[in-house]
Amino acid sequence: LPSMQTSGSKPCPCPSFKLREVASMYFTMIAVFLVILVAALQGSVPRGSDFPYKVPLDPQGLLELSWNVSYPEQAVYFQLLVQNLQFGLLFGMSDRGEFENADLAVLWSNGHNSYFGDAWSDAKGHLHMDSQQDYQLLGSQRTPEGLYLLFRRAFSTCDPKDYLIEDGTVHLIYGILEKPVHSLRAINISAIRRGLQRVQLLKPNITIPELPSDTKTMEITAPNVDIPNQETTYWCYMTELPDGFPKHHIIMYEPVITAGNEALVHHMEVFQCTAQFDSIPHYNGPCNSKMKPERLNYCRHVLAAWAMGAQAFYYPEEAGLPFGGPGSSRYLRLEIHYHNPLVFQGRHDSSGIRLYYTATLRRYDAGIMELGLVYTPVMAIPPGEDAFVLTGYCTDKCTQRALPAAGIRIFASQLHTHLAGRKVVTVLSRDGKERQVVNADGHYSPHFQEIRMLKEVVAVFPGDELITSCTYNTEDRTQATVGGFGILEEMCVNYVHYYPQTQLELCKSAVDPGYLHKYFNFVNRFNDEEVCTCPQVSVPQQFHSVPWNMFNRDVLKSLYGFAPISMHCNKSSAVRFPVRTASRP
C-alpha cells in the first residue's frame, strides 16, 4: 500500500466532518468543471531559477519535471514540460511506483476541452476523483518547447487518499493519454504508455559555500561509449591521476551529461582504487564482462556519486575530501549505469563527473565511514518475508576508543542495500536514548542510490552509538537470502561522510556466530527435517536447509534481536581497534 497519512502522521489542522463533507462536494465540482483552454494560452518559458531541480520522466525525454521546495509553506511546487501533448497525462506518487493505490494529478481531454483534477487509484487501478483537491493548478503556458503546467502540493494534506511527501526517495509515476477520453473514469491506466522515475523531492535547504580562487576542475568521463542496446548496462572505465599528483581537497562535484542522453544516464560513481597495487590495468567496457581485470574489484573507495535528479554536491567550507599525495592510489574507476528501456541503438555517450578541487587544503580532511552490518552470511532473511528487519550497531565501545574527544560531524550519507532492501534508517543514540535520526529513507530503492547532503550536521561524540536498520522484502524468493557481496545476497550499509577524518573506517556488527550455531541446533530439536550443523557445511547451506515455518522465523527474529553481537571496529588498514564481542546495546 502507498504511504498514506494516518493518525500516526504529523498532525495537521483538518476541518470537522460536516465541514469536510461540504468541502468535498465543492472541490469535486470545481475539479470536474475546471477547464483549461491550453490551446489558447501563450507565454514565455518560466525562469529556470524558480525550479532548480530537474529530471526527465520518460526515456524519450518528452516529459520533464522541474520543482522547488518551500519549507516555510511545507509544499512542493511542480513544473511539468510536456512535448507533443496529445490528450492528456497522469502524474503522481505511490509507495514503490505502482499505478494501484496511487495519488495522481490528471490532465485529460475529450477532444474539445481539457480538464485538470486531483485523483486517486484503487487497488484495481480504477481512477476516482478525489473529494479533496490538493494538487492545486497554478497556471499553464504553451510555448515552442511544449506545454508548461504549474501546480502545487503540500507535504501533508490530511487526506487519507493522498501520499505523504517525506524525506528520502519518492517514486514518481506518469502516464500519457494518446486518445480522447470523456471522463476520468474512462481512463484505463493498464492500457496507456506509462512509467516511473525516482527522485529525492525534499532537497535540503543549505547554503552553498563559495569556491576558492585556486579551484581547478577535472572531468572523469566515458570515452565516447556506444551505449549497448539493452535495458540495463553498468559500464566501467579506468583512468588515472598524473604522476606525482600531490594531495588536494575535492570541494565540489557535479554531473557532466552528454546532450540527448539525459534520460539514459541513470547514475554514476567515481571510485578510487586501493593503494596496495602499484598498477591497475586500463579497462573500458561492461562491468560484468569476463574481460574485466580482477583488480578493478579493489577500486571501491567512493570519491563521488550522482543519481538522476541530483544536483551538484558541495563539501562544507571547513572540509574537503583528500585525494592524491603519498599513500593515495593514482587509479580511478568511473562506473555509469545506463537505463535504456526502449533499447535505443547507436547512442554514444561521454558522460561522467566533474571534480572541483583545490591545493589550498581546508582545515579538515573529510572521511567516509561504513556503518551497518558486516558482509557475512550469519545475517540472513528468510524467504517469503514482506518486511524483515536486520540491524547493525556501531557501539559506544567503538566510538569511545576511536573518535576524538571533540567528536566528528556527519554532513552527508549514502544508504546501500542490494535488491531486497525497502527501508533504511540510521539513528544516533546517546546514554541509551535515541537522540537524532542521521538519515532515513522509508521508500528506499536499490535502483536509486546517491550521496545526500543532510539538512542538519550530526555531531557524534565518543560513547555515542550509531544504529542502522534495514527492512527487506523476500516475497519473491524461495531460499534464505544471506549477507554477502553478491547481488542476490544482501547488505545493510550507511556510508557516512564526516569530518575530521579519523582512523575509524568501518564500524559494523553481526550476530555472534556461536549463537547462530545454537540456533541451528535448536531448530533441529523442534523440526522433523534436520539441519546439518557439521563443521564442513557452510552457513548459507545450513540456512537453505531450514524449513521456514512460522516458529523458525520467529526464533531467528528473536536471535537477531537479543543475542550478543560481534563488533567490527576497523581502521583504514583493516586492523581492528581492540573491541570485543558485545551484548546488545
pLDDT tens digit sequence for 404-430: 999 999 999 999 998 999 999 999 999
pLDDT at 483: 94
Q: Please give the pLDDT value at position 488.
A: 86
What does the pLDDT read at residue 524?
Answer: 80
AA identity, residue 16: S
Query: For residue 147, is pLDDT > 70?
Result: yes
Fold of 367-516+566-571: Jelly Rolls (2.60.120)
pLDDT at residue 297, as a whole number: 87
Q: What is the pLDDT of residues 443-480, one digit of tens each?
A: 999 888 888 999 999 999 999 999 999 999 999 999 99
d(CA 346, CA 224) in angstroms, rounded, equals: 11
Residue 22 has pLDDT above 50, yes or no: no
Measured distance CA(207)–CA(202) in Å, rounded: 15
pLDDT at 225: 96
Residue 87 clears pLDDT 60, i.e. is over it: yes
pLDDT-derived band at 24, boundaries 50, 70, 90 = very low
Length of the chain: 585
Determine the pLDDT at residue 45. 43
- Predicted pLDDT of residue 43: 39
Confidence of residue 563 (pLDDT cuts 50, 70, 90): very high
The pLDDT tens digits of the residues spanning 506-520 come to: 999 999 999 999 999
**Grid cell digits, residue 180:** 480522447
Q: What is the pLDDT of residue 301?
A: 84
| pLDDT at residue 528, rounded to an integer | 65
Whole-number mean pLDDT of the chain?
Answer: 87
Please tell me which residue, 366 or 576, carries the higher pLDDT value.
366
Name the catalytic one among 53, 234, 283, 515: 234
Quick check: is 234 catalytic? yes
Residue 582 — pLDDT band, cuts 50, 70, 90? low
Q: Do domains 215-362 and 367-516+566-571 have the same CATH topology?
A: yes
Angle formed by the axes of helices 513-526 and 550-562, to 10°? 160
CATH number of 215-362: 2.60.120.310
Task: Tell me whether residue 126 is one of the annotated catalytic residues.
Answer: no
In the set 171, 416, 443, 568, the catalytic residue is: 416
Report yes or no: 499 and 250 within 8 Å, Cβ to Cβ: no
Model confidence at 159: pLDDT above 80 = yes
Q: Which residue, chain included where needed, has cell 586501493? A: 274
The number of beta carbons lying within 10 Å of the beta carbon of residue 522 is 14
Any alpha helices (H) in 197-305, and if so which ranges?
none
pLDDT at 3: 35
3-state secondary structure of 561: helix
* Annotated domain spans of the chain: 53-199, 215-362, 367-516+566-571
Residues whose CB falls within 8 Å of the CB of residue 225, separated by 6 or more in sequence, listed in order: 235, 237, 284, 336, 348, 349, 350
In this structure, of 38-42, 443-447, 529-533, the range with the lowest mean pLDDT score is 38-42
* Range of 204-213, 352-361, 561-570 with top mean pLDDT: 352-361
1-5, 89-93, 143-147, 248-252: least confidently modelled range: 1-5
What is the band of 574 on the pLDDT scale with cuts at 50, 70, 90?
low
Task: Average the pLDDT over each of 31-35, 45-49, 142-146, 344-348 and give the range with the smallest value.
Answer: 31-35
pLDDT exceeds 60 at position 376 = yes
**In terms of CATH architecture, what is 53-199?**
Sandwich (2.60)
Q: What angle do CA 499, 502, 508 make, to 5 degrees?
A: 100
Q: Which helix (H) or strand (E) holds 436?
A: strand 433-441
* Res. 532: pLDDT tops 70: no
Examine the pLDDT at 16 and tell me if it is beyond 50.
Answer: no
Residue 91 pLDDT greater than 60, yes or no: yes
